[in-house]
């Protein structure tokens, strides 16, 4: 079983920055893709950014050039640096990973979510 714990959310004014962190723990053999999703009130969960184990990144068009995803494979952690935040970025942000467990099972794991609120 894989657990993800996020931190770093909060309230910020438009134009400000926040850095989200997520650490994975549990029966992990390796972590493949790690990423961040978000869900605004009344909307579906959507991809924000993903990063492969080798460092290849993929961003949603609405955050490209403002957000940067990175990871630390040794620490089983992923980060999201968010700059130039807009009120539309207000949402609960969820960490996600695809991992191979110690029992060679492939599993999807989600964090509990962290609230990001951007005031205008």
What pLDDT does residue 103 have? 87
Instruction: State the average pLDDT over residues 18-28.
Output: 96
Share of the chain above pLDDT 70, in %: 100
Token representation of residue 115: 């609230």
More confident residue, 106 or 46: 46
What pLDDT does residue 52 have? 97
Sign of CA dihedral 69, 62, 44, 10: positive
What pLDDT does residue 102 have? 86
What pLDDT does residue 104 have? 86
Token representation of residue 95: 């960490």
Type and span of the H or E element at 108: strand 106-110
DSSP assignment letter at 70: E
- pLDDT, tens only, 65-113: 999 999 999 999 999 999 999 999 999 999 999 999 988 888 999 999 9
d(CA 72, CA 41): 31
């Amino acid at each position: 079983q894989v657990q993800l714990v996020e931190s770093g959310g909060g309230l910020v004014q438009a134009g400000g920055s926040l850095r989200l962190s997520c650490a994975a723990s549990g029966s992990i053999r390796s972590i493949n893709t790690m990423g961040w999703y978000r869900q605004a009130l009344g909307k579906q969960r959507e991809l924000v950014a993903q990063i492969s184990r080798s460092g290849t990144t993929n961003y949603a068009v609405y955050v490209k050039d403002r957000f940067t995803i990175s990871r630390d494979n040794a620490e089983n952690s992923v980060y999201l640096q968010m700059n130039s935040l807009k009120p539309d970025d207000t949402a609960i942000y969820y960490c996600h990973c695809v991992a191979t467990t110690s029992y060679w099972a492939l599993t999807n794991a989600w964090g509990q979510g962290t609230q990001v609120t951007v005031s205008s």
